[in-house]
Amino acid sequence: MKKYLITCFIIFFIEHASAQVGSDSVVEMENVLVKGFESNAKVKVIPASISVITKKDFQKVSTYSMLPSMNMIPGVRMEERSPGSYRLSMRGSLLRSPFGVRNVKIYLNDFMLTDAGGNTYINLLDISGIEQAEVIKGPAGSLYGAGTGGAILLSTPSFMNDQKLDTSAFHIALSGGSYGAANEQVSYRFQSKNFSSVLSQVHNQSDGYRQQSRLRKDNIQYAFKSQSNPNISTEGIVLLSDLYYQTPGGLNPAQFSANPRQARPATQVLPSAIEQHASVRNRTALIGLTNTYTLSDRWKTVTSFTTSFTSFINPFITQFEKRAESNLGLRAKLIYEKNNTAVPVQWVTGAEVQRGKYKIDSSGNNKGVTNGISVVDQVSAKQLFAFSQLSLSPVRFIKIQTGLSVNAYDYQLKRTKGLPMNNMAPIEFNPQVLPRIALMFDPISSLGIYVQFNKGYSAPTIAEIRPSAGGFYTGLQAEYGWNKEVGIKLSTLRNRLSWVASVFDFRLKDAIVRQLNGDGAEYFVNAGGTIQKGFESHLELLLIHKSSERGLHHLKVEQSVTKNNFKFTKYTIAGNNFDGKNLTGVPDEVIGLNIDAAYLYGFYTTLNFNYIGKLPLNDGNTAIAEEYRIWRLKTGLKKQIKHKQFDFFILVDNIGNEKYSLGNDLNAFGSRYYNCAPGRTVAAGVSIDF
């Protein structure tokens, strides 16, 4: 199959590339300016592995989920154990992410989505409120703090334009489909001379493919930008989210084979997921405010404040957990830029501080309600890091970035109800210095070669220090490692062909790995280390792009390839030596393919393919998830009718009705690894802009 795809691609390229470059009006591929590592430059000149997903990319295959777009990025895996239960990993960071996102730092504009305890509720976001995503792979601690997987910089829609006219616009989208899926989006954009804003409301619901997998999600997001004078601008955001989803639980191989749609059944000693009403309820409010002050033509400051409040309720098989979480964060930067000289220079220095307080109330679960016997813990987390980065170009074809951060991380733990009672107990981790040095060599405008050497570290999160298995795991150590990377960035055929590839070698020490006890509750251990070697490639080819809309006037092909060789090293637990075993949960190979076509006065089609290779489900590699292939299709018609832009579309997911698990429970007790993804699904909808 893989050889067939590659052969088809080569034939396609030879037959069409040379013919189309000169025959139609040449429109370059998008050269989007990115903010990663404060570069504010085209991605092809930045000495780092950065991928960009635009709003258009998010909408290619799905209208409500970022999963298909994320999985087109080499080195990135997004999974969904059940509707609403997302996980995101970058270069093998999945071991620490039973749900949510850990070991990856995420920002929305300059606001901190990742909380002080190291967790990110990415499932609270909706793609209608995201304009662009920049994915930085590999340690990014020199500028973004703790995290060995990488960082993601999300941007909200902006309505500012050069004309600064008084304008407004509405967007409405409705869709529905298989398994009771229904999605609705409404947004209103407004712009005046010095002010722009976007207000959006989103509702998603689904009955789910499996038993006990219903979803309901409601979001309200308001983002604005104000510029009272040329030197001062203010941005703000308010995000209110109410998310409820049921959790069907993992199945063992026999159950998965017999009926993959069933929820986790009862055993002789434990009730079923349905009996226990296993689910998650997350209500979150996030508020952010950023001020940018231009001091002169070379100096400016950017200061961002973020606060969030979360009510989290999670009845699962054995316990009923309630959490009240509050977080405060401040990020401040001083930026110096001198571009109109023989040696362009940029210097960024600043600091970020976060504090979080978490009340965790655990009790027994009696068919979806607490049994009244509680253990209550108070946990506070604080992280602080100062950073500085220097970028310069001593000659035209050489760009250098050097950065350094100093990180401090600590917890305070106190049991206020239940035994054993204790006073506030501190857990402090040694301050970490995280350097990065990167070099871009681009002797010609179409070709760049970069190298980077950087260090990452990640302290245990709240959910790892105080896991669902109960107790305080104060012996956990922070994981850290060094990354070496070489990459190439090629853009040719008048920017119609773009290719980015990299090889890396990441050595992680004291890796944190998830384990499950007999009750299905999780806990974490330091697992020695890992050696993570990989190859990543992303190719884009714009074959046809004509100004006329007659016939086939747009055709673009994307292909992504990920090759992983991740191994445990010096890893022994409970008397078992796993040295040399493949890293749990990481596929050996991932291939993605996207074909976009526009034709016949407004019709369009996107075909998406994703191949996932075999992956180990436990540390001993005795259980293996088989490879699978997923095809997705979106086709529709865009038409303007009386000053309104209509988009009618049909979505088909898992065209081949593949049976596979998307989001395995790793190291699961009783071999309950599998969370079956939906079979073939169909959805249809319409969006209107006016």
Digit-coded pLDDT (tens) for 562-579: 999 999 998 887 778 899
The answer to whether position 482 is within a domain reads yes
First-last CA distance in the chain = 44
Q: Is 403 exposed, middle or buried (0-12, 13-18, 19+ CB in 10 A)?
A: buried
Neighbours of 352 (CB within 10 A): 23
**Residue 219 — left, alpha, or beta (φ > 0 → left; ψ -120 to 50 → alpha)?**
beta
E strands, 138-274, are 150-155, 167-177, 181-191, 195-206, 215-229, 232-246
Q: What's the CA dihedral at 260, 653, 60, 283 to 10 degrees?
A: -40
The answer to whether position 307 is within a domain reads yes
Angle at 103 between CA 38 and CA 592, to 5 degrees: 80
Asked if 661 contacts 625 with a C-beta cutoff of 8 angstroms, the reply is: yes
- Name the residue type at position 143: L
Task: List, for residues 335-393, the tens digit of each pLDDT value.
Answer: 999 988 888 999 999 999 999 999 999 999 999 999 988 899 999 999 999 999 999 99
Give the pLDDT confidence score for residue 654 in this predicted structure.
Answer: 97
In a 3-state reduction of DSSP, which class is residue 122? helix
Task: For residues 437 and 420, give the distance between their C-alpha atoms in angstroms, rounded to a whole number.
Answer: 47
| Upper half-sphere CA count for residue 520 (Cβ side, 13 Å) | 25
Distances (CA, A) of 130 to 126, 238, 320, 364, 398: 7, 14, 33, 39, 33
Task: List, for residues 284-295, the tens digit of each pLDDT value.
Answer: 999 999 999 999
Distances (CA, A) of 66 to 59, 478, 559, 590: 9, 30, 18, 18
C-alpha closest to that of 252 among 516, 581, 512:
516
Task: For residues 138 and 92, give the distance between their C-alpha atoms in angstroms, rounded to a whole number.
Answer: 10
The answer to whether position 77 is within a domain reads yes
Neighbours of 268 (CB within 10 A): 4
The answer to whether position 252 is within a domain reads no
Distances (CA, A) of 547 to 24, 141, 639: 8, 44, 16
Task: List, for residues 632-671, the tens digit of each pLDDT value.
Answer: 999 999 999 988 999 999 999 999 999 999 989 988 889 9
**CATH code for the domain in which residue 336 is found:** 2.40.170.20
Decide: pTM greater than 0.75: yes
The answer to whether position 194 is within a domain reads yes
Task: For residues 610 and 628, give the distance between their C-alpha atoms in angstroms, rounded to a whole number.
Answer: 8
Tell me: pLDDT of 251 over 90: yes
Q: Is 299 exposed, middle or buried (0-12, 13-18, 19+ CB in 10 A)?
A: middle
At residue 40, φ and ψ (nearest 5 deg) are 50, 50
Give the pLDDT confidence score for residue 288 in this predicted structure.
Answer: 97
Q: Which residues are paired to 361 by β-bridges?
A: 322, 376
E strands, 464-528, are 479-492, 497-509, 512-516, 522-526
C-alpha closest to that of 132 among 46, 61, 38, 32:
32
In a 3-state reduction of DSSP, which class is residue 137? strand
Tell me: pLDDT of 26 over 80: no
**Encoding tokens for residue 65?**
């989920």
**Encoding tokens for residue 520?**
């299905």
Range of the domain at 389: 2-247+268-689
Task: For residues 448 and 398, give the distance between their C-alpha atoms in angstroms, rounded to a whole number.
Answer: 9
Domain count of the fold of the chain: 1
**Encoding tokens for residue 198?**
């976007």
Task: For residues 46 and 26, give the distance between their C-alpha atoms in angstroms, rounded to a whole number.
Answer: 25
**Encoding tokens for residue 399?**
């760009």
Give the pLDDT confidence score for residue 162 in this predicted structure.
Answer: 47
Those residues whose C-beta lies under 8 Å from the C-beta of residue 4, and which sit 6 or more positions away, are none
Q: Quote the percentage of the chain above a pLDDT of 70.
A: 92
Give the pLDDT confidence score for residue 465 in this predicted structure.
Answer: 83
Task: For residues 355 and 383, give the distance between their C-alpha atoms in angstroms, rounded to a whole number.
Answer: 7
Give 549's pLDDT tier (boundaries 50, 70, 90): confident
User: What b/e sequence results for 576-589 when a residue is b if at least 16 CB atoms lie within 10 Å of its CB, and e otherwise?
Assistant: eebeebbbbbbbbb
Question: Does 457 or 32 have the greater pLDDT score?
Answer: 457
Give the pLDDT confidence score for residue 17 in this predicted structure.
Answer: 43
Asked if 113 contacts 106 with a C-beta cutoff of 8 angstroms, the reply is: yes
Give the pLDDT confidence score for residue 97 in this predicted structure.
Answer: 64
Question: Does 123 or 168 have the greater pLDDT score?
Answer: 123
The answer to whether position 262 is within a domain reads no
The answer to whether position 504 is within a domain reads yes
Helix, strand, coil distribution of the chain in percent, nearest 5: 10, 60, 30
Asked if 484 contacts 490 with a C-beta cutoff of 8 angstroms, the reply is: no
The answer to whether position 258 is within a domain reads no
